[in-house]
Chain A
Amino acid sequence: MAFNRREFVKLTGATAGLATLGLPLVSRAKGSVSIVVIGGGYGGATAAKYCRAYMPDAKVTLIEKNKYYYSCPFSNEVLGGESKIEDVRFGYDGIASHGIDVVIDEVTGVDPAAKSVATKGGKNVSYDYLVVSPGVSFKNNIEGYDEAAMEKMPHAWKAGPQTTLLRKQLEEMEDGGVVMLVAPPNPFRCPPGPYERASQIAHYLKHHKPKSKLIIMDSKDKFSKQGLFMEGWKANYDGIIEWRKAADDGKVVGVDANEGILRTEFEEHKPAVANVIPAQTAGALASAIGLTNESGWCPVDQRTFESSIIKDVYVIGDSCIAGKMPKSGYAANSQGKVAAAAIAAKVGGYDMPDPSYVNTCYSLITPDWGISVAAVYQYTPEGIVGVKGAGGLSPMGAPESTRKAEAMYARSWFRNITTDLFG
């Protein structure tokens, strides 16, 4: 075609834009509706961008405590050595370029009566609609695993300096050292994540520390994509990865970080490197605001993601209870779009079209061996459920060409979804 993208936009922008956007655009006097989004991760970045797209005249503010976002997806590949930490680092210039106010500051509280958000830096930002996507916080399910212990036995379950620390420990470990990965109890963000991580660390060990091995200490007796992981481990990491389930005394109950000790019910272990992933609950901010129930997570109207507890506050991503959807980046991204559409419908005074959600979690067992779990979801009066017959796992016993293609598409996914978030 002769047009480049930009010219094409100029020539046909108006009509094509309307047709493709689909949702009725909501226009009001400039700045008369104020939407504040807390948390610039998978959920929040999406919500801010789609609110802006649906309501071009609204004032959209994104408040995020860190200058850079480090993506958990593909941070396991940093541990494996295939990616660098810079590959999972994103700034907020792209988001700001769409006319979204990006405020780098930590939210300390929300006053739902005054509809106002307070920050550590002393700002008060008022909102008509608030979107909250603060991710997860850690629970104290492992005795002795406190903030200081995290610096010795990194969790790396929030990417960034923790990822770099764990990578450094792996690099500095002597060949022959044992790595222990402590996998968390359900529910936690990214159900296949610990097992992808085990694969990635094993990939590094196989090529750089061939006498070493990795033991997964699990507080569960089964895990996501188990058959596919086991098949991939047997083919690629036989004798390198060992999985110790809860029933086999795999559950770690305490640590002595200074001594480098992990304690189970019956034994003590002293691995060369310990990666301890604790149990999880909604982001601390969500509970501070009062958005959580007794489960520790945030109940929402699963059609709109509006909190069941506080009006005009929407909770998305890991923190919310989203029916059958897992806690994943793709899920948070889908939810951000639905919440934005729900707010636009409310502001515009029309009925929101039926929401639709997708989740897929790719895992790389080696750089050429990808597997996935996928689902399409719909809203029913019982909440969000998977569409029957759709989704599921990559097939067992698939040829290596299929595994390789999935690995290619996994990288493609990362490229596309992070552009959706930060581009």
Chain B
Amino acid sequence: MHHKLSRILAASVLGSALLSGATTASADATGAMVSNPCAGCHGIEGASQGQAPVIAGLSQMYLASTMKAYRDGQRYATIMDRIAKGYTDAQIDAMSGHFANIGWPTNNQTVDADQAAKGQKLHTSSGCAGCHGATGVSMMPNAPRLAGQYAGFLEQQMHDYKDAAKAIPPGAMVMRSMLAAMSDEDIAALAAFYASQK
């Protein structure tokens, strides 16, 4: 966390220069205030250190749409559905802007190299790269970054996409059929591949 606080601190030079116009920051301030409590689960400034997903650096469009999907019962979750119901559209938009403005953090996950290699093959041969890029860094603003995301979370999401009993957003439906034929081992291998990417 050290450099994250210092990143905040680094802003002070500019901050003091801008202080005279302090109240112009109120839109940002709202984003920061509503986003602050997310840190308990998603890490400081969205840079999770555990298996809950990194949310810093995802696109504003994806963040907003997925939060609304959780809220409106369109995306299965263990807990985000209950959390997202606490926010208005305006608050969700403010938070999405807040997290989208932060760079994607570098995580160091230990993954099994063989599994990751198997996952990479599957990623390419199954056509995931079409939307998610060769290494899991998507060029489409509605497809989230998979590279460097936590394996436990990703594995969970793929199982949810696969399970026809679970609600998933329309944009994820294409993956339901793609994942249908995959075994638990395949899914674990894909997750390991994405987790191994930086």
Interface residues of A (CB under 8 A from B): 1, 3-6, 8-9, 12-27, 49-50, 52-53, 56-57, 94, 97-98, 330, 333-334, 337-338, 341, 348, 350-351, 353-358, 360, 372, 374-378, 387, 389-392, 394, 401-402, 405-406, 408-409, 411-417, 419-420, 423
Contacts and interface: CB of A to CB of B under 8 A. Distances in A.
B50 A412 contact: yes
A376 B84 CA distance: 9
Nearest to B43: A416
B39 interface: yes
A20 B40 contact: no
B78 A5 contact: no
A16 B102 contact: yes
B75 to A, nearest CB: 14
B38 interface: yes
Nearest to B50: A412
Contact of B2 (A94, A392, A409): A94
A5 B15 contact: no
Contacts of B25: 22-24
A23 B31 CA distance: 9
A3 B57 CA distance: 13
Interface in B146-198: 152, 156, 159, 198
Nearest to A420: B39
B139 interface: no
Interface stretch (B4-12, B61-69, B113-121, B123-131): B4-12
Contacts of A360: 40-41, 79, 83
Interface string B30-64: 11111111111111110011111000000000000
Nearest to A410: B50
Interface of B is mostly: helix
Contacts of B50: 409, 411-416
A23 B40 contact: no
Given A17-B8, A25-B11, A387-B85, A423 B41 contact: no
Given A98-B2, A413-B52, 5 more contacts: A13-B7, A21-B32, A22-B25, A372-B78, A423-B44
Nearest to B25: A24
Contacts of B198: 1
B103 interface: yes
Contacts of B26: 351, 353
A423 B1 contact: yes
B78 A409 contact: yes
B101 A5 contact: no
B: contact size bracket: 35 or more
B112 interface: no
A18 B82 contact: no
Given A358-B40, A405-B78, A391 B5 contact: no
Nearest to A28: B16
B44 A25 contact: no
A16 B9 contact: no
A196 B15 CA distance: 45
B22 A348 contact: yes
B29 interface: yes
Given A20-B102, A27-B12, A406 B79 contact: yes
Contacts of B23: 24, 350-351
A420 B40 contact: yes
25 contacts: A1-B104, A9-B6, A13-B10, A13-B11, A18-B15, A19-B101, A22-B31, A25-B16, A27-B19, A56-B12, A337-B37, A348-B19, A351-B26, A353-B26, A354-B30, A357-B37, A360-B79, A387-B85, A391-B85, A401-B159, A409-B79, A413-B40, A416-B49, A416-B52, A420-B39
Contacts of B19: 24-27, 348
A94 B4 CA distance: 12
A420 B23 CA distance: 27
B15 A25 contact: yes
A3 B18 contact: no
In the A-B complex, list the 10 residue pairs whose CB atoms are closest, starting with the nearest. Answer: A376-B86, A22-B32, A412-B50, A17-B11, A25-B15, A423-B1, A390-B86, A27-B16, A358-B37, A24-B22
A5 B105 contact: yes
Contact of B11 (A14, A358, A374): A14
B33 A22 contact: yes
Contact of A24 (B29, B37, B49): B29
Given A18-B14, A372-B79, A417 B9 contact: no
B78 A406 contact: yes
A68 to B, nearest CB: 19
Contact of A27 (B15, B33, B78): B15
Contacts of A8: 103
A419 to B, nearest CB: 5
Interface string B72-107: 000000110011111100010000001001111110
Given A348-B19, A415-B50, A416-B42, A16 B7 contact: yes
